[in-house]
Structure formats: structure tokens, C-alpha cells
A and B are shown apart, each in its own frame.
Chain A
């Protein structure tokens, strides 16, 4: 087919599957290259429809498109949204599925065009064998920065993808991410052994977002007052990010008590799936205007009219910060990002970093226990509660360690296979690697601190590492260049606090008197 033909075809598919008539910046270029069978590295800022770059080709290519996604919740969100617009033949495979559901999917693999998978699913031999029997046309690595140790969200699981791609007879590879420095871009291609990927890199600065960094010289209570002042000023959708679950709950409660006319809720990974889904959809449907959340919120959110993003705690790295503020103003209207900061706050992310990785002592203790397991020929438990009891280690640290142990060949399918001398050697290697990770994370945090204390333009400084030209913003650029906030205080919000009796509520739910 000629280029013109492909292009005409492209627009027809875009209309049929998505009801769009035009592409966002970058989408068409990436899709055309993918359809031509070229390996592509695409860097598109969040909110510009990264996922369309494979959702559309999936429908046009013969066979199956596989998408590796690091977050199960994100994957479920995407499938949910596609199903809602009646994009068919899409499914997600992940470890939280019921056995029967997964078997049904696996029996009908040929029926799907687009399959989302979590990285650990691709370690399952049965599943790989089944995939191998299918014709896989396109292999998508979403959030591709996860493959790089220098990326802000390194997932060791991602390093195994190369092997999977080879097993699947080397389909076209599309690596996508929202943020990656040139360093990380090279690393992605290195790790995928595809040095000749076509790079499509688009700028990630957002000229409609004003950046404010506000340092508070005072107590925590004063910081909370500053937060309330910001929130009072707007009636429009606002996300407030925190670094701990408990803080989201406490501050949401505080806001509800202090500002009776605000509809506020909290959201974090500790909530049940149904509660998470309901709160997320309430926000989407404007039943709520403020969400107090951890970084677990927002990944799959595609809400155009979010006006304000507040960071109540320091973000752990620049990249995640850019992603999070990028959720504001997708409709193109003026929006604002506020970072509230106290000198003392630095301890919180430092603490989190320490808690993510096993300490020297923990590592030593576990290695000793492993020898017992080997001697007594006992399998390692799968249940993380049991792990926590026996190894005195948090589940996140355990997952990190288990991967390391498997990589070094000490653990195979729950079984410990080692000798004393190997274990010493491996101990040293893991210890060394862990210290390296720790240093990298501290370095990333330092970049955030440096940025906060910049005297020059915050916007320029923020996007400098990622792109060459930064769009100049004439007014309301950042708090260093000067931001004038128009007085948008509106207190006459029509709140619909439910006070009706249950009969009325039930009638409303079942639309009694509303339909005939």
C-alpha cells in the first residue's frame, strides 16, 4: 500500500474506533512508522494520548498487539475505558485475576487484537507458550523508562522483556514513555537491543500551567492553612498529592471539617478496588472537586478540566513531578501547579527511600534464614504476611529481594538452591547493587531540592534536561517570574449534600418520576 492509502485508511479507523477526526501532536507520525514495521521510541507528554499510538495500529495490523504495562490498575483503567467506547477484542492479563477468568482468556487468545499484560505475567511459561503460537505483530513497552536503572521508576522485571521479545519471534517494538532524559532514552534502546529505533521526541512543557513553589517558614499547621487558602480560591477539580496514605485521610478530613461546601475525598492504594473505582468515577463525573491522594491516583485519569495540582509533600523525583502536574489543564485552559514546602519536609522522602530498600542488617538476616530453608528442604512461602513474619521484612522490600535472588539463581520457583560460599558472594553483590540504587534515589531527590531553590525561571529549569526549546510564557509563568492570580474566589457553590430520606434517594437512583 502507498503512503497515501495507509493514511486515508488511518483516518477511517480513527473515526470508526474512536470517533475522532484528527490526531494529537506526534500520534500520526508514530503510528505510520509502526504500521511500516519500524521499531519506534516515542516520548509524548502525558495527556496527549500516548496509548492511541498502539490502540489504533492494533486494529489495523494482522494478529495480536501485546502491551506491557507496569501498573495493574492502569491497565484495568485502560481496558475499562476502551470497553466503554465499544472498542472490542481487548483484554488484560494480570496476577490479580481469578483463575477461571484467566483460563477463559487464554483459551480464546486468538479472539483478541489488543492484550495488556503485566511484566510478571510474561514470566509464566504456559502463557508464553500460548503467545508463541499466536501471530504477534506489535510488542509495546509502555512506560518504557521503567527499563532503565537511571529512570525514575526502575522495574527489574522490565529487563526480562528482551528475552520475551526474542521468544515471540521479534515483532515490531514500540517503546513509549512520558518523560525520559537523553541518557534514559539511550538506555532504553540499549536494554531492548534496538539501537536503531526511530525516535519521536516531543516537548513536554505545558504553557498553560503556571508553576508556584511556596516555602512556608512555620509550623505544619501553618502549612495546612496555606493549603486551605489555595483550595478556597477555586471551585474546580483539584488534586492534592501526598507521600503517605495516612496524610491523605487526615487532610481530607480536615478539609471536610473546615470547608463545609467542598466535596472532598481521599484515595490511595490501600482502598478496596470497588471503593477506588467509585471515588475515581465520582471525580470524573464532577461529583467531587477535591481528591487528596498518593501517587497511586491519576495514572489512568483522563479528565480534561483539572485546574489545580497541589503537592503537599516533596515529590521524590523531577520526572514523577512533571507527570503529575501534567494532569492539569488538558483542555488547554489556564491551570496552576502549587508545591508547598517546609524545610523540615526533606526528611519524609528520605525516610521513604530508606524504607523501600532492604538494609544491610535485613539482608544479612535473610541470607542466613535462606540457608535454613535449603537445609530443611522447605519451599519459600508465597503469602506476603507469612514472609513478613518469618523474615521480618516488608512486602515491597521482599519483592525487590526475591527478584535479586532469582536473578542470581539462588531461588528457583520458591526453592532455595545454594551453597554457603555462593550466598556470601551474592550477599555482597546485592548489597552493592542496593547501595547504588540508594545513591541514585538520593541524587534524584537532590535534583528536586535544587529545583525548588532555583532563583531563575522555574519552568526553564524544570524542562531543561528534557528538551531544547522551552515555550516562553508571557504572563503567569512561575513564582520566580511572577504569577498574578486573578481573584477567583467564588463561594456560592451549589453543593448537593444529600439530606434526603432513603425513599427519595432510592427513587432518584432508579429514576422513578424521571422516565416514562
Chain B
């Protein structure tokens, strides 16, 4: 139900100016300026990247179902859909229920799963340690997470029993303010000593909800924890520590991060393209991607201050994020790449 709610309400917010693919890119979190600008422009930024692992096939299947069940009606343009009156009524009817479901994708997308995975693994490591169990299979496989938890464990080794009590207090305090069903779904996934948490598909079977709903409900709990911890980090020292030193930059695609490291070594765009046997346009895309994810990224090396001001002025003048419109309003020698770069670092300039 939540998954459907997200799709329908996102589509509605987009005011039928975008195809359903835009919804997919939004919730799956495509790292493109278009998607991120859509998110802000249509006020659906909280949905950004809330289903990171959703594949397109599964998404399109849901669209098909929604059409078959008369929630969506195809528009003349391919892949454009309109909400039916049935869908609008359904959204309205479920609005109060959905108040329990609180997420902030744009704010937490880069940290939510790392934080949750660190929490899961830390609990497992501590529980096994106090039970003197040294041979067990860690529930999280990711290299970075394992490495981080290992370091944390080394530093916390002498105090584990107390820390587990404190963690219970910290979690319990936050969880009390969240809906019970959501909390139960969250807690069932935790792994302890000789007791592995339930898989999401198992909880889905148990509750009769689709797997995507279980993921989205878990996300609510994770985001609420992050919210509370951000507001009062000193009150929740263990949880605050679990979210420390995660930087947004780590979310770059593999290819873009390769480009980034070459640029940092002082190679020019042409040289990077040559060395990686890629087109220069691809490298431009990478730079834009880097700028989106790292608001401290210096775009000055790709344009003069005057050029930048010119672009900003044009954006304000045409009142649109359309590259074409902006291009027409700036001096001729400014490239699409430069406009995209300014748009990418919009937090800083707009």
C-alpha cells in the first residue's frame, strides 16, 4: 500500500509533466540534475532515493497493475499516465494512515543504509562477544561496514555489556514515539547471538504486505532515528557515533569516482577521456555528477566568475531549469556543460 501511495502521489505531484520513468528515477535515486531538480521543483524531495534497490522491471510491473486495476489511465504520450478518480479517492482515503510514514530521502539517502547496517552488525558483534562466541557469520558483508564496526568494536571492547544497556535505552526512547507496527518490523530484523533477524521477504509473508512496503516502513524508523539523533546528538551518543563520518561523496558511481581521482591528480578532461578510452562528453557527465554530490566541489576551474553570474542571472530571468531556455538567455560562448555545472551546485548559488 505504501509503495503504491508513493508512486501515485509522486506522479500527481509531477503534474503529468513527466513520464512514469521520472518517478522511477526519483525513488530509485538517479544521480542526474534533472531528477534532483524535479524533486525540489515539485516538492517531492522526501521521496528521493527511498527505494535504492528497486529495479525497473518491478516498478513497471506495478505501473501495469495500477493500470489494470483502474488507478492509472494511459495518456497519449508513451509512458505518461494520469490518475483516475478512483486513484484520487484512494489517496485521500489513505492520507491519514500515511501520516505515520515519515521519510526524508533527500536528507538521509546517502547515510540511511550505512547507518542501519552498522547498527545491525554492531549489535551482532557485541551480542556474540558477551556470549563468548567467536565463530559466527556476520550479517553484513560490506567491506566498509565490516571495517568500521571492527574498529568500533576494538574501542568498545572493555565496556560492551554496559554499552548494550545504553543502546537499549537510546533505541527504546526513540522507538516509543513511532507507530508500534513500524517498530516491530524494525526490531524483527535485528540479529543477535545465535539468532539471525528475519529477512524482509519473511516479514512480508508474515504481515501480508509487499516487500517494498516492508522496506519503506523500515526506512521510516531509520529516518526517525536519524532525525532525533541529529537534533540531540549528545543525548544519543552510541547512535550518534554510528552515523559519524559517513560522507555523501561515497555515493558516486564507480566510473565517476575513477574520473574524480584522475582529475584530482591534475589530469585535464581531454587526458582523462583519452586514458579511460571514454568520450569527453562522458567525462563532462561525471563532473556534473561529482558536483551534485559534493557541494564543496570547486566549479571555478570550468568557468570564469562572469560566466557563472551570467548563468545565474539567466536562470532567474527565464524562471525555469530547462537547459534550452537558459542557453538561449546567456552569451553564446557559454556551453551546456557550464550551465549544468551551475545547476548542479544550485545549493551554493541559487
Contacts and interface: CB of A to CB of B under 8 A. Distances in A.
Interface of A: 76, 80-81, 84-86, 97-101, 104, 252-253, 256, 265-266, 271-279, 281-282, 284-285, 287, 385, 498, 501-503, 505-512, 515-516
Given A99-B257, A272-B53, A501-B184, 17 more contacts: A85-B135, A86-B135, A97-B143, A273-B141, A274-B199, A275-B199, A278-B191, A278-B199, A281-B139, A281-B196, A285-B196, A502-B183, A506-B171, A506-B172, A506-B187, A507-B168, A512-B164
Interface in B109-161: 123, 127, 130-131, 134-141, 143-144, 161
B130 A515 contact: yes
Nearest to B127: A511
Contacts of A272: 53, 200
A277 B139 contact: yes
Given A502-B184, A505-B187, A278 B192 contact: no
Given A273-B141, A385-B56, A502-B187, A510 B167 contact: yes
Contacts of B102: none
Contacts of A503: 172
A278 B193 contact: no
Interface of B: 53, 55-57, 123, 127, 130-131, 134-141, 143-144, 161, 164-165, 167-168, 171-172, 175, 180, 183-184, 186-188, 190-202, 205, 254, 257-258
Contacts of A84: 135-137
A278 B198 contact: yes
A98 B195 CA distance: 29
Contact of B190 (A104, A277, A284, A506): A506
Contacts of A287: 195-196
A80 B138 CA distance: 8
Nearest to A413: B277
Given A502-B183, A515-B161, A80 B137 contact: yes
Contacts of A97: 143
Given A272-B53, A511-B164, A505 B188 contact: yes
Contact of B193 (A104, A253, A511): A511
B175 A502 contact: yes
A207 B18 CA distance: 65
A296 to B, nearest CB: 14
A278 B141 CA distance: 11
B280 to A, nearest CB: 16
Instruction: Kindly name the residue among A81, A85, A273, A511 whose own CB sees the greatest number of chain B CB atoms within 10 A.
Output: A511
Contacts of B139: 274, 277-278, 281
A274 B140 contact: yes
Contacts of B190: 506, 509
A98 B193 CA distance: 29
Contacts of A104: 143
Given A502-B187, A511-B164, A275 B200 contact: yes
A81 B167 contact: no
Nearest to B215: A272
Contacts of A279: 199, 202
Contact of A510 (B164, B184, B199, B205): B164
Contacts of A101: 143-144
Contacts of A512: 164-165, 168
Nearest to B186: A502
B187 A285 contact: no
Nearest to A281: B196
A281 B137 contact: yes
Contacts of A508: 192, 195
Given A274-B139, A506-B187, A515-B130, A98 B254 contact: yes
Contacts of B202: 265, 275, 278-279
Contacts of B131: 511, 515
Contact of B201 (A275, A281, A502, A506): A275
> What 8 A-B pairs are tightest by C-beta distance, nearest first?
A275-B199, A509-B192, A101-B143, A278-B199, A281-B196, A99-B254, A84-B135, A509-B190
Contacts of B164: 510-512, 515
Contacts of B201: 266, 271, 275
A98 B143 contact: yes
A278 B192 CA distance: 12
Nearest to A279: B199
Nearest to B194: A285
B43 to A, nearest CB: 30
A284 B194 CA distance: 10
Contacts of B167: 510
Nearest to B163: A510
A510 B183 CA distance: 15
B127 A509 contact: yes
A278 B197 contact: yes
Contacts of A511: 127, 130-131, 164, 192-193
Contacts of B57: 385
B192 A76 contact: no
A190 B131 CA distance: 52
A41 B172 CA distance: 58
Contacts of A501: 180, 184
B121 to A, nearest CB: 11
